[in-house]
Amino acid sequence: MVKFAVMTFMYSGWAASDSGSHEALLEILAEAGADGVEEFCNHFFDNAALVQRYQQKMRELKLGMPVMDLIANLAEPAGVQREAEYEKMRKGIDICEAFGTEIIHLAGCKQSEKINVRDAQRLIAEGMLDFVDDIEKRGMTLAFEDFDPSPGLICSAADCLEIIRLTGNRVKFVFDTGNFMAVNEKAEENFDRLIPHCRHFHFKDFRVADNPRGYAGAHFGQGVVANRTIARKIKAAGYQGWVALESYPQDGNGPRETVAPELKTLKSYFQ
């Protein structure tokens, strides 16, 4: 059975504004038909009160937190900054456990000017291996995605497979349908290579844009990403687990106007 979560980081500003709240955002997701939430665990660092607010509201709405995004740059070389990133990992793992998270999704790895790509990938793999035993003992899985802010490091299918190889296949993969555009690859062409390692999927849409990246966020289902094809491939592969909608504010609209129709579109691809 495929279950549906909604990623919330693009609406964090709305949740903190006078127009919204964290509780209201969770209510919107539940009313839209989400089974779960995917949050940045960094937002909860040193904020036990916010953790409790989310736990209480999620219990009330019967929402899970199957996946959390842990932002830490494990490509940092040895030294004070790497230790700071390790501390983010330690805090994040504790928060994920508190929410009963199944998958810790590592994001945020960026190459330092001090080292080359291969050394940076080795550092990422070594960093994940330093935490994977503890994560697994707590009943969770560590995974990373094709990360489009770092296209030359951890975004192409080949680079992602290399990092998985460097971990001895201990670490799993979050397949982001849109981010491969950063390296001029197509998600549907990378699917077969990566599906053996996949434990989660991010569904998003992009449109072609006149900007340095060449693309920008679009209403889900109205862009150029082959999301319907990926959903069909996921079903054919017999995948049982979570997928998440990565929704963007569009045309000045917030989550009230955006999430429900986009989640409806995503669900329709799996019918």
Question: What is the domain-level CATH number for residue 211?
Answer: 3.20.20.150
Beta carbons within 8 Å of 257's beta carbon, 6+ residues apart: none
Number of domains composing the chain: 1
Instruction: Note down the domain range covering 145.
Output: 36-238
Residue 250, pLDDT score: 82
**Pair of tokens at residue 102:** 């199944």
Residue 222 included in any domain? yes
Does a structural domain hold residue 127?
yes
pTM: 0.97
Q: From CA 63, how far away is CA 152, in angstroms rounded? A: 36
Residue by residue, pLDDT tens for the chain (271 residues) are 999 999 999 999 999 999 899 999 999 999 999 999 999 999 999 999 999 999 999 999 999 999 999 999 999 999 999 999 999 999 999 999 999 999 999 999 999 888 999 999 999 999 999 999 999 999 999 999 999 999 999 999 999 999 999 999 999 999 999 999 999 999 999 999 999 999 999 999 999 999 999 999 999 999 999 999 999 999 999 999 999 999 988 888 899 999 999 999 999 999 9
Long-range contacts of 89-94 (CB under 8 A, 24+ apart): 89/127, 89/131, 91/41, 91/45, 91/46, 92/41, 92/42, 92/45, 92/68, 93/131, 93/134, 93/135, 93/138, 93/140
Rounded Cα gap, residues 251 and 219, in angstroms: 10
The verdict on residue 9 lying in a domain is no
Supply the pLDDT for residue 114: 84
- Burial call 160-172: b when 16+ CB within 10 Å, e when fewer: bbbbbebbeebbb
* Residue 258 counted as domain residue: no
Is 253 a domain residue? no
CA angle in degrees (0–180, nearest 5) for 131-166-96: 25
Give a yes or no: residue 102 inside a domain: yes
